[in-house]
């Protein structure tokens, strides 16, 4: 029996390039090669696509030049071989990409043009969830509480007097914690906005929420939605800055993840149901990690939605799913199987 041919797309041009490599390595370790034939497609930081044997160090030099054909009749890759492009058909693509050009609908649009089915959110939901301000707007229309916030466009100057401090300043469309600052004094606001603008011209300023950070992994299934165990971010000081450490595998200097979260059963159910509501309202498909704030009075507020969350050995999504009884190998198999059968939710 012929194994389905799956393209694992990793790397990319965003600041999260190194994290994507680690996610792809973890996917490679957990992919059932008896069930699937894997093709690893790495995108260099300069945007060149390379077909390689595995997502390990040196893939940029060893890989062969490749492009994704926009012609749906090719239904896959065109590999440059001795001056000629040879077609390599694919049955499905798993974009293990994070941040800009991977999680914002850009590569999803390219895959739509190619006619190759892909794992995860479609173009509209990817673009919507990437923009935190738009995410908040849609979530509020679904009855979800969000932090008090303001949008500062690229040509605007923020009036520091109108905010109630402390506030968090962040790029509206960027991944992880790149460009995020906590501002406690009015005079520090301009510098924080400029730091955020290094990653996006559209900046979000939001009032700090008094509460803990929790998250919930969601997996779309044929019969509905599966919620992973809720986790809690335990902070010793400062604020949570995911993927900013030099060696994240060894842990963060100021945060640890408690899975399952040490919260009440009532709060746990509320977080899971709220995450499912947000997932549906934003039109998500496949996998997503919904990050929320849990206040002392039990109220839940949306923080953000990650449509292609990290899948590294230390990432939150696989940990939450594993705690719910779904190891990463099962998650991958379910995502790919659903996509192949055209039943992504």
Residues 200 and 215 in one domain: no
Residues 134 and 267 in one domain: yes
Total domains in the fold of the chain: 3
Residues 228 and 305 in one domain: yes
Residues 163 and 39 in one domain: no
The domain boundary residue, chosen from 158, 183, 207: 207
Residues 177 and 224 in one domain: no
**Average pLDDT rounded to a whole number, residues 255-273:** 95
Q: Is residue 187 part of a domain?
A: yes
Residues 39 and 96 in one domain: yes
pLDDT at 237: 45
Residues 261 and 187 in one domain: no
Residues 16 and 93 in one domain: yes
pLDDT category at 150 given cuts 50, 70, 90 is: very high
What's the domain range around 153?
A: 149-207
**pLDDT more than 90, % of the chain:** 84
Residues 134 and 250 in one domain: yes
**Average pLDDT rounded to a whole number, residues 238-259:** 62
pLDDT at 1: 67
The mean-pLDDT minimum among 152-161, 190-199, 200-209, 240-249 falls in: 240-249
**Average pLDDT rounded to a whole number, residues 270-290:** 97
The domain boundary residue, chosen from 177, 207, 237: 207
Which residues participate in catalysis according to the annotation?
19, 22, 98, 243, 249, 289, 310, 314
Residues 291 and 268 in one domain: yes
Q: Is residue 345 part of a domain?
A: no
d(CA 79, CA 39): 12
Helix pair angle (132-141, 123-130), 10° resolution: 110
């Amino acid at each position: 029996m012929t194994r389905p041919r799956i393209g694992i797309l990793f790397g990319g041009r965003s600041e999260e390039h190194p994290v994507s490599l680690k996610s792809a390595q973890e996917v490679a370790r957990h992919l059932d090669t008896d069930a699937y034939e894997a093709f690893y497609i790495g995108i260099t930081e300069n945007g060149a696509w390379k077909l390689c044997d595995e997502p390990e160090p040196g893939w940029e030099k060893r890989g062969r030049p490749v492009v994704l054909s926009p012609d749906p009749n090719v239904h896959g890759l065109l590999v440059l071989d001795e001056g000629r492009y040879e077609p390599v058909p694919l049955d499905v693509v798993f974009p293990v990409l994070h941040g800009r050009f991977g999680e914002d609908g850009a590569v999803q649009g390219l895959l739509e043009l190619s006619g190759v089915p892909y794992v995860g959110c479609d173009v509209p939901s990817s673009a919507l969830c990437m923009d935190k301000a738009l995410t908040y707007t849609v979530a509020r229309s679904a009855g979800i509480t969000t932090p008090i916030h303001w949008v500062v466009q690229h040509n605007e100057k923020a009036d520091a007097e109108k905010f109630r401090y402390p506030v968090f300043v962040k790029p509206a469309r960027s991944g992880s914690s790149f460009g995020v600052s906590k501002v406690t004094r009015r005079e520090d606001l301009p510098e924080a906005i400029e730091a955020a603008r290094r990653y996006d011209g559209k900046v979000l300023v939001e009032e700090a929420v008094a509460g803990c950070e929790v998250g919930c992994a969601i997996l779309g299934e044929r019969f509905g939605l599966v919620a992973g165990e809720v986790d809690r971010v335990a902070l010793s000081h400062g604020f949570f800055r995911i993927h900013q450490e030099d060696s994240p595998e060894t842990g963060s200097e100021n945060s640890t993840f408690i899975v399952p979260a040490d919260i009440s059963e009532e709060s746990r159910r509320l977080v899971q149901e709220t995450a499912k509501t947000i997932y549906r309202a934003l039109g998500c498909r496949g996998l997503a990690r919904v990050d929320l704030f849990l206040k002392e009075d039990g109220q839940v507020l949306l923080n953000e939605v990650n449509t292609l969350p990290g899948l590294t050995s230390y990432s939150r999504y696989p940990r939450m799913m594993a705690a719910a009884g779904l190891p990463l190998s099962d998650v991958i198999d379910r995502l790919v199987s659903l996509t192949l059968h055209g039943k992504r939710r």
